[in-house]
Amino acid sequence: TPLGQKIKQYTFFSYASNEALHLSTEERLILQDYMDKIARELQHPIDKFSKSLIISNIEVMLNYCMRFYERQFVTREELNHNALGKFEQLIDEYLDSGRGAIDGIPTVKYFADKICLSSNYFGDLVKQETGKTAQEYIQLKMINYAKNSLLNPALSTKQIAELLGFQHSQHFIRFFKKQTGSTPREYRLQLN
């Protein structure tokens, strides 16, 4: 069905139980109404409209859930800011400690696990709060770290690449150029 083809847009299916939807009484009644409609349709003798009516009601209910989750990100702003602050701190610690040389390029899953959130919920929260995906946010922090590291003439491009978790400096050079428009070497030359 068309709903089956776009089911992945409902990212809340992979949220953890501690990330459950918090509903007001009115929101609960809206969802219950659609559940009742689906239940009535399932009890009704099957006809040529049954399948489309059930699917339509499920889709509307899922869209309401998306709306309520978006609202939840807004109404739980203090908790979100705490998670985002912790995320910032964890990224800085990861990069400053050179952990990339041991564990590789930092991932969304790594930080979501550290904050005790599922990757999808964490990604949705970061997107809601910053306008960037969690991956884009990590990459932005990596670029800032790389730019600061390039200020230090004692560090080679290869060393900076290793500190960030790149196994090959060519991958780092490509990443840096894609993000900034110049290679690390060109960036260094611009600073002088």
Are the C-beta atoms of residues 53 and 41 closer than 8 Å to each other? yes
Q: What is the value of pTM for the model shown?
A: 0.68
User: 40-66 pLDDT, tens per residue?
Assistant: 999 989 999 999 999 999 999 999 998
| Architecture of the 78-191 domain | Orthogonal Bundle (1.10)
Residue range(s) occupied by CATH 1.10.10.60 in the chain: 78-191
Contacts of residue 137, Cβ cutoff 8 Å, sequence gap at least 6:
87, 91, 126, 130
- The chain-wide mean pLDDT, for the chain, equals 90
**How confident is the model over 69-87, as a mean pLDDT?**
75
Tokens 């790389």 locate to 146
